[in-house]
């Protein structure tokens, strides 16, 4: 369906994350918005530098993933590093963490207005 990683060694992804394969899944959603708090620094890992350059304005985790050409899971690990060092901040989505929990009525009203104005 998508050829992007075909023929690409899993080892490369392993190297990008320094061997980690798992970030705290609850920390970042795919639609969490990320903003740089500083510019790239000399000696910084290139993926980290690219993210900082990309997020001078807010950008979602999934857009960063598409732009870097790296799977979402890998991008979450890279972002966790940048969050830990204060290089980026995260604008967390409205928590609706359970399947059965319905979104707030007021929030849905705003979504309706936004869609009607399309």
Partner 1 sequence: MDSRTSDQALLTPLRKTATTGLKIVIVGGFGVGKTTMVHSVSEIRPLSTEETMTRAGVGVDDASDVRDKTTTTVAFDFGRISLNDQMVLYLFGAPGQERFWFLWDRLFLGALGAVVLIDTRRLEDSWYAIDRLEHQKTPFIVACNDFGGPVYTLDQVRNALDLSAHVPLIKCDARRRDSSKTVLLELVNHLHALSATAENTR
Binding site for partner 1 (CB under 8 A): 1-2, 4-5, 10-11, 13-14, 21-22, 25, 29-33, 54, 57-60, 62-63, 65-67, 69, 71-74, 91, 93-97, 99-100, 102-105, 108-116, 118
Q: For residue 115, give Cα distances in angstroms to 29, 31, 89, 110.
A: 23, 18, 28, 9
Alpha-carbon distance values, 37 to 23, 51, 74, 117 (Å):
21, 11, 21, 33
Shortest Å, Cβ 79 to partner 1: 14
Q: Which is nearer to partner 1, 10 or 43 (CB)?
A: 10
Q: Shortest gap between Cβ of 67 and partner 1 (angstroms)?
A: 5
Structure tokens at 29: 């959603």
């Amino acid at each position: 369906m998508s050829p992007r990683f075909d023929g690409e060694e899993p080892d490369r992804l392993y190297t990008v994350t320094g061997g980690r394969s798992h970030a705290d899944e609850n920390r970042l959603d795919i639609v969490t918005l990320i903003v740089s708090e500083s510019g790239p620094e000399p000696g910084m890992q290139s993926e980290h530098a690219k993210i900082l350059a990309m997020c001078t304005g807010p950008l979602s985790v999934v857009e960063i993933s598409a732009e870097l050409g790296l799977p979402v899971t890998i991008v979450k690990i890279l972002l966790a590093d940048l969050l830990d060092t204060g290089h980026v901040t995260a604008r967390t989505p409205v928590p609706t963490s359970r399947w059965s929990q319905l979104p707030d009525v007021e929030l849905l009203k705003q979504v309706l207005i936004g869609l009607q104005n399309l």
